[in-house]
Structure 1
Amino acid sequence: MAVTDQAIDRIKAMIVAGALAPGQRLPREEELAEDLGLSRNSLREAVRALTAMRILVVRQGDGTYVSSLEPGLLLESLSFASDVSTGERALQLLQVRRLLEPQATALAAGRVTDQDLARLSGLLRRCNEARDVEEFVACDMDFHGAIADLAGNPVLSALLRIVSSRTQRVRVLRAAGGDAVLAGAQREHAAIVEALAARDAKLAEAGAAVHIAGVERWLRAATAAGREPGPPQAPATP
């Protein structure tokens, strides 16, 4: 195992053991390096890696702290996998979404309020008025995110945002093409809201399952036809 990996594992072990708590400041660099039996360079590399993982937070002029360690924060670093996944890998992520989102929607049916329904209805109107794919997807993310949040489980909400990122949704809809696809998605959104308004968990679950299965079907057909665009290209260097 590389020295940097050992340093990462040792700091993680301190957090797991409770020697470093969420929000706690790490000891001074020289002190921590000595305690862990590491060089200061190895420790710095480990801190950089753990910061990228959202496990540590560097505050300029103040020091390095353990983050809040909230699951949603730690899972954010995985969203890149959704952004760059294409073909079979993108389908696998959609399959995970198909397993999770109907259950989240069923949970939402038992918790939704009239105020929540008013917000979802407003999001439906925004989606219907979207002028292009990007605008529709921005609204679509808000719509599905709001329903996932109603399930009352932040970890579930974070996972659902990861397995279907904004970048992935834009690619899928562009590959599917056509106003008919957007119109179909809007009808399915409306059916989900109607089920939530009826507080019918089974119907809400079924509506979400049908909607996501449709997205999966579009992506599978586009992949088979070679129409699914790859990951977004990096902007040209001026």
Structure 2
Amino acid sequence: MTAHRGPYDDRMTDRGPDRPSASRSQTDVVVEGVKAMIVDGELRPGDRLPVEKDLAARLGVSRGSLREGVRALATLGVLQTRQGDGTYVTSLDAAALLGPVGLFAELRGEEQAHDLLGVRRVLEAESAARAARLRTEEHLVELRAILAGVDDLLRSGEPLDAQAFIEADTRFHAVVARASGSPTLAALIDGLVGRTLRARLWRAITQQHANAETQREHRAVLAEIEAGEPERARVRMSVHVLGVEEYADAHDAEGYPPA
């Protein structure tokens, strides 16, 4: 029995070295080949790729196709080309690799905002539960400071600065996600924030007392995180995001104003 040498070694068959099948483009072969090298541990974060000629020969593709594949992987955040220094594997952190989630959210039609809010509700509830177990004192200090700033906005007596309010709301949810201890969860939530931004902004402007209610809900979430109550934090966050989701559902027919 012949030992397995990996899917992209120059294995010999009765047809000679393996070549890309007709059903796959050479660019696909490059993408899959480099991914396999990373998954197998042959390439690690920060490693430099083999020189172009050698890697193209190994994958059985032209050097032009290799460059196309490298560009595709760079767009996905997997590789980084440094002018005059070669191509390197990135840190492969969640924020970079899950960046396309944000693009997906932005490309969704406005009438589908409620769908993204539903997904966000599931993720945010989990992040709050995890934050109640894993938060540090630094996280708590940051969350308290954000809500104190919102209190100042609401007490100012001036017309509400909706943009400042929504930025504080975004920061609050981002810190809770970060406190969850899961970079993947935090990156997914961050990717969905952009799509729901206008719905939240419109809600804050048009619904009387919506901003004060949001602040109360945030404080309820924070209280459970401070108390170390994961399931209660999960419920509080789920109810909070559900309110925004229901508002988006109710106002689909009206559409959203430009942000």
TM range (shorter): 0.7 to 0.9
1:210-236 Cα distance to aligned partner (Å, 9 max, x none):
11001101111121x232258x7xxxx
Residue 100 of structure 1 corresponds to which residue in structure 2?
A: 123
Residue 154 of structure 1 corresponds to which residue in structure 2?
A: 183
Residue 235 of structure 1 corresponds to which residue in structure 2?
A: none
Root mean square deviation of aligned Cα: 2.1
Indicate the SS of the match to 1:192: helix
Residue 8 of structure 1 corresponds to which residue in structure 2?
A: 31
- Cα deviation for residue 115 of structure 1 reads 4.1
Tell me the matched-pair count.
228
Question: Conserved in 2, the CA contact under 8 Å of 1:133 and 1:170?
Answer: no
Residue 236 of structure 1 corresponds to which residue in structure 2?
A: none
Which sits farther off after the overlay, 47-56 or 133-142?
Answer: 133-142
Distance 1:18 1:202, change over 3 A: closer
1:97-134 Cα distance to aligned partner (Å, 9 max, x none):
21121122122112334443232111012334285333
Structure 1 Cα separation of the partners of residues 80 and 239 of structure 2: 41
Output the amino acid matched with 2:164: E
The question of 1:191 aligning with 2:220 is answered yes
Residue 169 of structure 1 corresponds to which residue in structure 2?
A: 196
* Residue from 107, 116, 123 that aligns with 2:139: 116
* Residue from 132, 157, 162 that aligns with 1:133: 162
How many percent identity over aligned positions? Answer: 38
- Cα deviation for residue 5 of structure 1 reads 1.8
Structure 2 Cα separation of the partners of residues 123 and 84 of structure 1: 30
Structure 1: tracts of 5 or more residues without a match: 233-238
Output the amino acid matched with 2:255: R
- Cα deviation for residue 88 of structure 1 reads 5.1
Output the amino acid matched with 1:226: E
Structure 1 Cα separation of the partners of residues 76 and 117 of structure 2: 24
Residue 58 of structure 1 corresponds to which residue in structure 2?
A: 81
Indicate the SS of the match to 2:81: strand
1:133-153 Cα distance to aligned partner (Å, 9 max, x none):
332222222111111111211
Structure 2: tracts of 5 or more residues without a match: 1-23, 155-159
Which sits farther off after the overlay, 119-128 or 172-181?
Answer: 172-181
TM-score (norm 1): 0.86
Indicate the SS of the match to 1:22: coil
Structure 2 Cα separation of the partners of residues 33 and 88 of structure 1: 45
Question: Conserved in 1, the CA contact under 8 Å of 2:111 and 2:255?
Answer: no
- Cα deviation for residue 75 of structure 1 reads 0.9
1:8-27 correspondence to structure 2 within 5 Å? 8-27=31-50
Question: Which structure has the bigger radius of gyration?
Answer: 2
- Cα deviation for residue 175 of structure 1 reads 3.7
The question of 1:43 aligning with 2:77 is answered no
Question: Conserved in 2, the CA contact under 8 Å of 1:106 and 1:205?
Answer: yes
Structure 1 Cα separation of the partners of residues 240 and 119 of structure 2: 14
Question: Conserved in 1, the CA contact under 8 Å of 2:166 and 2:201?
Answer: no
